[in-house]
Structures are given as structure tokens and as C-alpha cells.
Homo-oligomer: A and B are copies of this chain.
Amino acid sequence: MAQKGNLLTVRKDLRVVDATIRDGGLCNDFRFEDKFIKDLYKANIRAGVDYMEFGYKASKEIFKEEDFGKWKFCNDNDIREIVGDNNTDMKIAVMADVGRTDFKNDIIPKNESPIDLIRVATYINTIPAAVEMIEDAARKGYETTINIMAVSKAKTEDIVSALDILGQTPVNAFYIVDSYGSLYPEQARHLAELYTEKAEQYGKVSGIHAHNNQQLAFANTIEAMTQGVSFLDATVDGMGRGAGNCALELLLGFLKNPKYRVEPILKVIENHTHKLKEKGVKWGYDIPYMLTGQYNTHPRPAISFVKEDRKDIYNFSNELYDIINS
């Protein structure tokens, strides 16, 4: 069960989820070297990470395999090549997007797969489709979470309705997803309170996935945690779409349970993510992302701005104003 706690408490309900490959893969079309994935897998185990998310189970009908690295699709065999039978305390997760996953065919029974957890990603208006996917995955033997994206745009009464529907399903955790990096800590705490209350009502737990548009991903994660949120998403070096995510090294350095260690992650940063940045893969806090976060809007225009190597942030802020008010 979820717990609340202060800075000195060890929270046995906590689960640290490394989402580096999945969210970071959005920065390089999932083209990671196997060495990166193997080193990250080993480092996560040593760091005490509870779940490692490998990528998406994307539909090969919708996306062409040649356009992406393999972690867009997460074939069970590709995961097994990294983890073998994964005889460790760390569980393996993948994400399945509503409407973009061929889940009936691509998600095989759990007893034939190295995957433990299917994370179903949905917007608030596609909850029924998400329920179908949760029920399918649970029937096949998986743990499941429901990740309701762009929560900063959703109305509270719609969130309550969604959680009441999801409470009737076998889903294990309700996730707050701040896709736009728009939440302030006060708002993150309020949402965490709501999600945790609803989770308790239905015998489930809650989680948070934060973005760093306003340098608040780490703050929002630990503030939500203090309200009872159990599943905490983070990525190495904050690698993730746009402004990136809560940095795993910040989170591990904060948590009091001695099983969590930051040092193994420092090696991955030194050997891999810093080198990716040098090679031109782009993510992390920057003014254009700050502006889309402040406007509570999708980071798409900011991602284009950064990709084009533009420097005229003042013009960008005017363009953004026009986009939003047009």
C-alpha cells in the first residue's frame, strides 16, 4: 500500500522506474547502441532501480521498422538478448500507446516474455480503449499501469471519472503524467492527493511521470511522493523528449532507502549520455521549452525551434503567443 512520509522515512512502497530508453528514445528515434542498453541495464540493477522501461510496443502496421531503432518495437527477443532470463530483482517494462499498439498480436503471454509490466499510455478521452488494453495485458499475466498524459490540460471532474472507471479494471497503478512540464509543485501535490485517494479506494497505487520544462520535474516528483505517490519515473541525465525528465541521479541521491545508489548511474552518464549530447542528440531544459511549459501547451514548436538550431528566443516567444491565441 502507498505511504506518506517525510525526508527521513524509508518508503517500502516506492518503485523507481527508469524510463531512459523509452522517453530518451524520442530524442534519437530509439537508435541506441546495444552497449548503451546493456550498460544501463547493469547499472540500473546496481543502483537499486525497481523497473527498467525498454521502449514502446509500437505497431509495425503504423510505424515502419526501418525508420526507428528496435526499442520503438521492443520485440521480446530483442529484450531477451539484453536481459537473458532477467534473474534479478529489477522488473522489465514497456509502454503501449492507445491506438498505436497491435496489442492482441504483439503482447504475448507473460510466461513466454521477459516483460513484467505493460504501461498503457492514453489521453483522458481514450480511456475505454485503454481499459481494453489493460484487461488484455492483465489476462495475459502482466502487471499494468495506466499513464494518463497531458494531465495539466484535463479537468478535475474528468480525471475523477477516469479514475473511477479505471478503478474497476485490474490495473495496478494510476499515473500522473505532466506531458507539458506545466505543473507547479502545489498543483503536483493536489493531483497526487487526488490520485492517491482514488488509488487507495480501489486497492491500487499511484505514480508520477514529470517533465522538466520549468526545472520542476524533480521537485514535482518528490513532492508527489510525499503525498503518497509510489511509482516514480526518472531518466538518466534527464534524457527525454524536449526538456527531458526527472533526472534519475537526482532522485536516487534523494531517496533514503540504502538500496538506492547514484554512483552506477554516474558511469552511464559519463560513458553514454554525455557522449550522445556531444554527438548532437538534444534534450534538456532550454528557454523554448520553458515557454511552452509556462503556456501549458505541447512542446512541439519548441522542439522544432531547438532542432533548427535557432537562437532568436524573443521572436519565438512572439510566435508562440500567436500560435496559442490563433
CB pair B314–A287 under 8 Å, yes or no, is no
**Interface residues of chain A: helix, strand, loop or mixed (majority):** helix
Within 8 A of B (CB), among A154-213: 184-187, 212
Q: How far is the CA of A289 from the CA of B39 in the complex (A)?
A: 24
CB pair A214–B290 under 8 Å, yes or no, is no
Q: Copy number in this complex?
A: 2
- Is A44 part of the contact surface with B, judged by Cβ < 8 Å? no
CB pair B185–A185 under 8 Å, yes or no, is yes
Q: How far is the CA of A222 from the CA of B267 in the complex (A)?
A: 33
Contact A311-B274, Cβ < 8 Å, known A212-B215, A219-B215: yes
- Is A266 part of the contact surface with B, judged by Cβ < 8 Å? yes
Contact A314-B222, Cβ < 8 Å, known A250-B214, A287-B269: no
- Is A247 part of the contact surface with B, judged by Cβ < 8 Å? yes
- A280-323 CB mask vs B (1 if < 8 Å, else 0) is 00000101001100100000000000000001111001000000
CB pair B267–A7 under 8 Å, yes or no, is no
- Is A113 part of the contact surface with B, judged by Cβ < 8 Å? no
CB pair B219–A185 under 8 Å, yes or no, is yes
- Is A50 part of the contact surface with B, judged by Cβ < 8 Å? no
- A245-279 CB mask vs B (1 if < 8 Å, else 0) is 00101100110000000110011011000100000
- Is A223 part of the contact surface with B, judged by Cβ < 8 Å? yes
- Is A28 part of the contact surface with B, judged by Cβ < 8 Å? no
Chain B residues positioned under 8 Å from A267 (CB to CB): 314
- Is A111 part of the contact surface with B, judged by Cβ < 8 Å? no
Question: What's the minimum C-beta distance from A47 to chain B, rounded to whole angstroms?
Answer: 13
Q: How far is the CA of A318 from the CA of B262 in the complex (A)?
A: 12
- Is A45 part of the contact surface with B, judged by Cβ < 8 Å? no
On A, residues with C-beta under 8 Å from B are: 6-7, 184-187, 212, 214-220, 222-223, 226, 247, 249-250, 253-254, 262-263, 266-267, 269-270, 274, 285, 287, 290-291, 294, 311-314, 317
